[in-house]
């Protein structure tokens, strides 16, 4: 079986991003298939400098349909899906061929780094996203926030009825949500499509999760929490990464809404989700806001010893900063300075040290 890869991209009015995207993936020496869904700018003109394989698809409010059309035009069975606002920043080509050979019929996860709005610093979010697959066994489903599904689970490897994944030695930087205005605009678009899916397909944890994410981007924590709560009240599979994110996002929304007592209910899920620093850090914040300071310190300390995380800082400077705040509130300035110092160049910590001294 060939391990050659075709890179598939769908685009519409992406003249600001497409050149940087295509230039970055050119070193992979893969066939590039670009499907344009109705650009009125120079997207196609710019893309033609990098690939001859450009096709047109009439947009029908269905991202999966567009992606699957793009895949149908590829020469190779192994498909790598890339978005126009994603730029390859790290790759190991030899290892890429090896992992494809070692994981037939499984789905590959790329590493994507995205800007994440934080307090006083620009944080980053790290995600592993399913993007590499053999088109003989998988396709995209869902008209928005589309995802990869098997045609027939009996023909692919599974673990406890879940699809099998493997990490791909490719890291992309995602530039799509670098400002809140852009995030809100895309969220409003996606929300309309998700509401249509909800009316046609009926409720599902994944649709509620995506709707909650849209409301987070639209700065509406109350509606976001509502939809996360609806999703978690259904029969969810805790082995799915999106469920972990839904639990954590729900908790942060409750904190934003100052519903601290309600947030404590996440204690009941601790044994299921405490393998990720983001959740442990969240529990530290929940205990902290409920004046359970020793329990909060314990959780923040635990988070600093964990390597599995998504948001920058939850297992380092942000956790240590909160411990510093707790000790400062307990009138233990030297202990506070000790933990603020562990935060390095984190501006809020530097400020607190200067105040104490």
Residue % of the chain over a pLDDT of 90: 83
83 pLDDT band (50/70/90 cuts)? very high
Residue 170 in tokens: 């490719």
Q: Are strands 122-134 and 107-117 parallel, antiparallel or unpaired?
A: antiparallel
Long-range pairs of 174-180 with CB within 8 A, sequence gap ≥ 24: 174/83, 174/85, 174/86, 174/112, 174/113, 174/114, 174/115, 175/17, 175/85, 175/86, 175/87, 175/115, 176/83, 176/85, 176/86, 176/114, 177/114, 177/115, 177/217, 178/115, 180/117, 180/217, 180/219
Residue 42 in tokens: 């120079």
Q: May I ask the CATH architecture of the domain 180-356?
A: Alpha Horseshoe (1.25)
Q: In sequence order, which residues have a C-beta less than 8 Å from that of residue 107 and are 6 or more positions away? A: 130, 132, 133, 138, 148, 163, 164, 165, 166
Please state the pTM of the whole predicted model.
Answer: 0.86
In this structure, whether the domain defined by 5-174 belongs to CATH 3.40.630.30 is answered with no
DSSP per-residue string spanning 214-260: HHHHTT-HHHHHHHHHHHHTS---TTSHHHHHHHHHHHHHHHHTT-H
pLDDT at residue 200 in the model: 87
Mean model confidence pLDDT for the chain: 93
The whole-angstrom distance between residue 8's C-alpha and the CA centroid of its chain comes to 20
In the chain, domain spans: 5-174, 180-356
The SS3 call for residue 319 is helix
pLDDT at residue 56 in the model: 98
Q: Same CATH topology for 5-174 and 180-356?
A: no
**Rounded to the nearest 5°, which phi and psi values hold at 125?**
-110, 130
Q: What is the pLDDT of residues 100-151, one digit of tens each?
A: 999 999 999 999 998 876 655 667 889 999 999 999 999 999 877 789 999 9
Q: Which of 115-129, 200-214, 279-293, 306-320 shows the lowest per-residue confidence on average (mean pLDDT)?
A: 115-129
């Amino acid at each position: 079986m060939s391990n050659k890869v075709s890179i598939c991209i769908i685009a519409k009015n992406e003249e600001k991003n497409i050149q940087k995207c295509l230039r970055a993936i050119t070193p992979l020496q893969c066939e590039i298939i670009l499907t344009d869904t109705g650009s009125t700018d120079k997207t196609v003109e710019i893309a033609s400098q990098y690939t001859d394989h450009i096709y047109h698809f009439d947009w029908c409010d269905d991202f999966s349909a567009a992606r699957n059309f793009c895949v149908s035009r590829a020469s190779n069975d192994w498909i790598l899906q890339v978005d126009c606002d994603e730029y390859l920043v790290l790759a190991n080509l030899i290892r890429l061929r090896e992992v494809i050979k070692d994981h037939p019929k499984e789905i590959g996860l790329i590493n994507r780094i995205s800007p994440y709005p934080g307090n006083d610093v620009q944080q980053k979010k790290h995600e592993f996203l399913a993007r590499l697959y053999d088109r003989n066994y998988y396709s995209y489903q869902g008209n928005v926030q589309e995802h990869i599904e098997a045609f027939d689970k009996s023909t692919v490897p599974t673990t406890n009825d879940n699809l099998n994944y493997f990490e791909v030695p490719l890291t992309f930087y995602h530039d799509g949500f670098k400002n809140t205005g852009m995030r809100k605009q895309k969220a409003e678009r996606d929300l309309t499509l998700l509401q249509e899916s909800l009316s046609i397909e009926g409720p599902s944890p994944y649709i509620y999760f995506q709707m909650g994410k849209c409301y987070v981007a639209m700065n509406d924590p109350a509606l976001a929490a509502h939809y996360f709560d609806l999703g978690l009240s259904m029969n969810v599979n805790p082995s799915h990464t999106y469920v972990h994110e839904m639990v954590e996002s729900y908790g942060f929304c409750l904190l934003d809404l100052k519903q601290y007592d309600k947030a404590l209910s996440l204690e009941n899920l601790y044994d299921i989700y405490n393998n990720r620093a983001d959740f442990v850090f969240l529990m530290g914040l929940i205990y902290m806001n409920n004046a359970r300071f020793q329990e909060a310190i314990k959780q923040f300390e635990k988070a600093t010893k964990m390597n599995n995380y998504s948001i920058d800082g939850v297992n380092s400077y942000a956790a240590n900063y909160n411990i510093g705040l707790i000790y400062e509130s307990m009138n233990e300035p030297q202990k506070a300075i000790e933990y603020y110092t562990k935060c390095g160049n984190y501006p809020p910590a530097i400020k607190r040290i200067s105040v104490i001294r």
